[in-house]
Every structure is written in C-alpha cells, then in structure tokens.
Chains A and B, each alone.
Chain A
Amino acid sequence: MTVDTELTTRFLERAEAARLVDVAMATMDSPIGTLLLLATPRGIVRISFESENRDEVLGEIAMRVSPRILEAPRRLDPARRELDRYFTGKLRVFDLPIDWTLIGPFARRVLRRTARIPYGGVASYGDVAYDIGTPRGARAVGNALGSNPIPVVVPCHRVVRTGGAIGGYGGGLPRKRWLLDLESGGMPPATSPVAARSD
C-alpha cells in the first residue's frame, strides 16, 4: 500500500512549518550526470555526483548533520536554477548561501581561498598553499580539495598542477576537464563526461 502524493505533500508542509526538516534533499540532471543536492536552513551543505555511493553520502549527513532528511525540492530551487544556468555557460558567479558544517578549519581556509579563483582561471596546489600561509602544504591542500563536500559551487576544479596537468578530482577527472572546458570557452563542451549508461 502506498500513500498518495497529497498526503505526502501535506506531511512535508507540516514538517517544514514545524521546522523539522533539518536537511532538504533534491536531485537534478546535469551535463555531468545526476547531482544530489542537500541543504540545511543555513545553505547548501553537500553536492554529490552520481559516481558517489548515495547511501554513504546520506549516511554521513545523517550522522554529522541530522537524519531528519526529507525530499523538499522547492527548498533547493534557487540552487538548481543557478546550477542550470552555470552548466549552460550563462552564470559565472554563484550567489548561494553555503553551510560549512562538514568542512574542518584547515579545509575551510583552503576552500575559501579556492572560491576566490575567478571563473575561467586556475591556480596551482602550491599557489593555494602559499596563499593560506602553509607554503609547504600543497599535498594537504590537495587532500582538502579532494574532500570538498560542495563541488562545482565551491570551485575546487579550478586548482590544477603546476606545469599544465590538471591534477585530481573527487568526481573523477573527466568531470574536472569538462568544467574547466566549460569555463575556458564560456560554453558547454560538446562531449559529455558521463559514460552513456544502458539502464
């Protein structure tokens, strides 16, 4: 027996009114695959690629933020709108509130510095390490970027290796390359970084 949508909608409305939705969840299609978006009342707390295990992602949020996670797509409308425009080359600077809860103090310094790299630009791991006052911490910077919980919006893809190699990426290198190509041309690249699936 399933519950009709009206009943589900009313439950969500009442849960929202009682401020019991600690984490709102929604998914969206994008040129780099389906994205899972999670937001607290403070802002976006997590964006995950379909290459990540969804149960693990949600388990971590349940443990570290709150298990009161409900599908509340409307609360993520602004984020989805901005991301849609970004992916088609129409938006260069995100204007979305961010919840930094999942990000530790060092990673926070790294990611805040990363967020200042302009659209279309890149910095090296060493540059970022130098700028945050740990000139020899390029590797630690790489680790902090690799565990960025809010990729794309916090543009960790703009940090590359000195000498032209693009370095690593939590969502896989094809996605990083696609994002860098999008930003360097101001247009979505013709090829998709997501392998065609049969399902």
Chain B
Amino acid sequence: MTTVQTTPLPPFQRVFDEHAGAVLHFLTAVVGVSEAEDCFQETMLSALRAYPRLIDASNLRGWLFTIARRKAIDARRALARRPTPVADPDPGAALDPQGESDDALWDRVRDLPAKQREAVVLRFAADRSYEEIAAAMSTTQDSARQSVHQGLKKLRRELR
C-alpha cells in the first residue's frame, strides 16, 4: 500500500473520541433521535473503511460531517419511501414562545430547507466555525453564513 501521507494519521480511536459526540448531535438534529443511531453507525463505519486512504487530515471533523451529511440524506430518502404509521402531531400544538423546549425547537430546525438546516445545525449543535461549515457542505464561507442567517430568520419568524 502506498500513501503520500506526510504526517501520520492519528489512530482512528482518537478521531472517534474527539468527534463522535458532535457527529451524533448533528445527526440527531437532522434526522431525529430514532434514526440518528443507525446513521451514526453507518457514518463511523464508512469513515473507518475509508480512513487509510484519507490524504488530508487537517480537518477530520469536516470530513466526518461530509460523510454524516450523506448518510442523513440517505436515511431521509429511505424514510420518505416508507408509509408514516401515525400522523405528525399538530405543529401548532407545541408552540409556546415562552417555554419552547429544545426538542420542539429542533423539530422546527428539521423542517427548514436542507441547506439552511445543515448550516444551522453545524453552527449551533456542532459548534462549528463558518470555515468548517463551508468545508463540510462543500460551499463558500459566505454562502454558509447566509444559510445560517436565513435559517435563523425563518425560525424566528415561526417562533414568534
């Protein structure tokens, strides 16, 4: 096996220890608690499989988020093909501007358009910089910032 690695990759265990929490948080916010664990396992296994071939180890979290994002999209597609067993609860029912719980807020984040949702989640759930968000979403920093801004504006409008 030939690699052009100049600095050795850290043991995968360290990558897992340092970033697994943020990846799980991100997935929980985008696909919901019930799907998040599966997505998380798929993400980490894909990452482990590809890891020896990774050339640029400078942004491991961004790399993991790119994989997680793909897994989340796959999971949502699979979910959309499945019939929904119960109707969604009335979205207005939980709305209480004073006491909006975290869960209800994340429900609303989930309803944002895809780009805004990912950007908001990366920014606030995973505590990423705009540079990292741009890398994870393969876009520019300006566009990442704009997606976060638009997402927040929409959330604020809905929560008013």
Question: Which A residues lie at the B interface, using CB under 8 A?
Answer: 1-3, 7-8, 10-11, 14-15, 18, 20, 22-23, 25, 58-63, 66-71
Report if B113 contacts A (CB, 8 A).
no
Question: Which B residues lie at the A interface, using CB under 8 A?
Answer: 5, 8-13, 16, 20-22, 24-25, 37, 40-41, 44-45, 48-49, 51-52
Check B13–A69 contact: CB distance below 8 A: yes
Tell me if B's interface is mostly helix, strand, loop or mixed: helix
Check B12–A69 contact: CB distance below 8 A: yes
A66 to B52, CA, bound (A): 7
Contact of A7 (CB < 8 Å), options: B22, B24, B45: B24
Check B11–A62 contact: CB distance below 8 A: yes
- For the complex of A and B, the 3 pairs showing the least CB-CB separation, nearest first, are A69-B11, A1-B21, A59-B8
Closest to B22 in A: A1
**Across the interface, which residues of B come within 8 angstroms of A63, CB to CB?**
5, 8
**Across the interface, which residues of B come within 8 angstroms of A2, CB to CB?**
20-21
A11 to B21, CA, bound (A): 13
Report if A67-B9 is in contact (Cβ < 8 Å); known contacts: A7-B37, A18-B45. yes
Shortest A5–chain B CB gap in Å is 12
Contact of B45 (CB < 8 Å), options: A20, A22, A71: A20
Check A62–B9 contact: CB distance below 8 A: yes
Q: Kindly list 15 other residue pairs between chains A and B, CB separation below 8 angstroms, not including A7-B40, A58-B10.
A: A1-B21, A3-B20, A3-B24, A3-B40, A7-B41, A8-B16, A11-B16, A11-B44, A11-B45, A25-B13, A62-B8, A62-B10, A67-B51, A68-B48, A68-B51
Shortest B91–chain A CB gap in Å is 27
**Across the interface, which residues of B come within 8 angstroms of A14, CB to CB?**
41, 45
Closest to B49 in A: A20
**Across the interface, which residues of B come within 8 angstroms of A15, CB to CB?**
44-45, 48
Closest to B20 in A: A3
A22 to B1, CA, bound (A): 14
A15 to B40, CA, bound (A): 13
Shortest A74–chain B CB gap in Å is 15
- 14 sampled A-B residue pairs with Cβ under 8 A: A3-B20, A7-B37, A8-B20, A14-B45, A22-B52, A23-B11, A25-B11, A25-B13, A62-B8, A62-B9, A68-B12, A68-B48, A68-B51, A69-B12
A70 to B45, CA, bound (A): 12
Shortest B2–chain A CB gap in Å is 12
Check B41–A67 contact: CB distance below 8 A: no
A77 to B158, CA, bound (A): 56
**Across the interface, which residues of A come within 8 angstroms of B11, CB to CB?**
23, 25, 58, 61-62, 67, 69-70
Closest to A18 in B: B45
Shortest B28–chain A CB gap in Å is 9
**Across the interface, which residues of A come within 8 angstroms of B9, CB to CB?**
62, 67
Shortest B12–chain A CB gap in Å is 5
A63 to B51, CA, bound (A): 12
**Across the interface, which residues of B come within 8 angstroms of A60, CB to CB?**
8
